[in-house]
Chain A
Amino acid sequence: MKKDWLEPINSYVKIELRGDDLEGLINGCLAGGIAIWNIERTGESSVSACLYTRNIKEVRLLLKETKCKFRLLEKNGLPFWAARMWKRNGLLLGLAGFFVVLFLLSNMVWNINVTGANPKTEYQLLKAAKELGIKKGKFIFLLPNVRQLQQRLTNAMDNVTWIGVSLNGTTYNFQVVEKEIPKRKEASSPKHLVAKKDAVIYDMFVEKGQPVVSPHQFVYKGSLLVSGYIGKEGKTKLVPAKGVVWGETWYTTSVTIPLKTDFQTFTGNMITQHKINLFGLKIPIWGWKDGEYKAQEVSENETPLRFWKWTLPVSYIKKEIRETDGVQRVYSESEAIRAGKSMAKKEVRKLLSHDAKIKGEKILRQSVSNGKVNLSMHYQVIENIASEQPILIQQGD
């Protein structure tokens, strides 16, 4: 049986037909291929029936032929329904507007909480967050995700050990662990200066105290350098010794440099794709080109969309495809040694305080095996070897 499934979508009318030859009219409709349904006898010389509005003109002709008349009873179908609804468009727009606004508000940042920070750090953190775009009223799905935020904020703040970022509904929570920088103690209590490590004294500058060593003298770790006792014997006084003792110290480091190294570098070419994830189905909305690069790195950032307090099964995906370039670096042996030297020097630099100077360097041992250059370096360093040691005053002395 044929049934027009488009019946509710097409507009149709219910009409009353009056006349003597109604059967003739129905047969005429059949012959003319005009769809007619729900025919019901309503009186001696009248029936009601349904017709598509697009067929009305042809039916009129048939009505003339059969000398029948018609009266409109109902207007049905989507176009009529839409037209009726449109009369109440304010209501509809209001309803749609309400849902749109609710949806947008559900995806906004409403609150930013900071815990564990003092007011100064909190202010700095909020400022750093603002630079990343976290402000009240921003859309969450346009912001980087929590992991990235955490990383960037931790990098941006230098007086903070760790920042935990969590997104709880529309609220960002920042949990801060601050660095505790110990205050410098006032050098008021009497102390000696002793050697930090084995060294040969190179130069010394003593502000306060009695130097007990002289340049070119070898000292062991812990030997007394500057005494806190000053004055002539019998009239000694205790002072906090202060000064800088430059000593020559020695460091050895070993580095390994492979002769061939593969590097991954970004070429700067990238494609950004925006997608909507609908029930696990990813629908691209912008960015149609797929990564046609030989080598690429893909990062995907998915933000779930929220409505009121529910997370929708719909999420926004931003996919970035970056072209990478495989570069192979090949060192000759002498180049490898040079690179190893500078690497070793950097390593030693890391161990030293910034006022230390590297006086000389020497290669202790070098060997090439398995495509790698092994290098042992020896460094002579001039650094401050003085460290403070408090003098304990015995009670009742």
Chain B
Amino acid sequence: MAKWRQQVTKWLVEKLDLPADAMMDLPRITMIGQLHIYIENHRGVMAFSREELKLRLKQGHLVIKGQDFVIKTILPEEILLEGTIEGVYYDKST
């Protein structure tokens, strides 16, 4: 059922040109150089250290790697991270 629903939304997004982040609860990531990263639609913090931030998503995780991480702001669905960002990775495992 969930699989089918996802298929439908994907089809809607493709055919009707609807914003994917809103329809499918995907993270929207905004980066300003290496300085800031701003992530919307996350589902909580899994791990946080100076070098790594692991966020829970609706499906899978998002891993951000870098140095001197500080969470500037955190709200239920948004997070602003500061530091030197080196990489953003998706982790499909749940």
Which chain A residues have a beta carbon within 8 Å of chain B's beta carbons?
1-3, 22-23, 26-27, 29-31, 33, 36-41, 47, 49
Contact = CB atoms under 8 A, between A and B. Distances in A.
Interface string B29-54: 00000000010000011111110000
Given A1-B38, A41-B50, A26 B73 contact: no
Nearest to B47: A23
B48 A22 contact: yes
B49 A41 contact: yes
Contacts, number: 51
Contact of B44 (A30, A40, A47, A49): A30
A38 B48 contact: no
B76 interface: yes
Interface string B57-92: 000000000000111111110101000000000000
Given A1-B38, A1-B80, A31-B76, A37 B71 contact: yes
11 contacts: A1-B78, A2-B75, A22-B48, A23-B45, A26-B74, A30-B45, A33-B76, A37-B71, A38-B72, A41-B48, A49-B71
B48 A26 contact: yes
A40 B70 contact: yes
A1 B73 CA distance: 9
B79 to A, nearest CB: 9
A295 B93 CA distance: 87
Residue in A2, A36, A40, A47 whose Cβ sees the most chain B Cβ within 10 Å:
A40
A348 B2 CA distance: 117
A39 B76 contact: no
Contacts of A39: 48, 70-71, 74
A38 B71 contact: yes
A31 B75 CA distance: 9
Contact of B45 (A27, A33, A37): A27
Contacts of B73: 1-3, 37
A27 B69 CA distance: 17
Q: State the 10 A-B residue pairs at the shortest beta-carbon distance, nearest first.
A: A39-B71, A27-B44, A40-B70, A41-B50, A23-B45, A41-B49, A26-B45, A30-B76, A37-B73, A23-B47
Contacts of B71: 26, 37-40, 49
Residue in B46, B48, B74, B76 whose Cβ sees the most chain A Cβ within 10 Å:
B74
A23 B46 contact: yes
Contacts of B45: 23, 26-27, 30
Given A1-B38, A1-B80, A41-B69, A30 B48 contact: no
Contacts of A47: 48
B72 A37 contact: yes
A40 B71 CA distance: 6
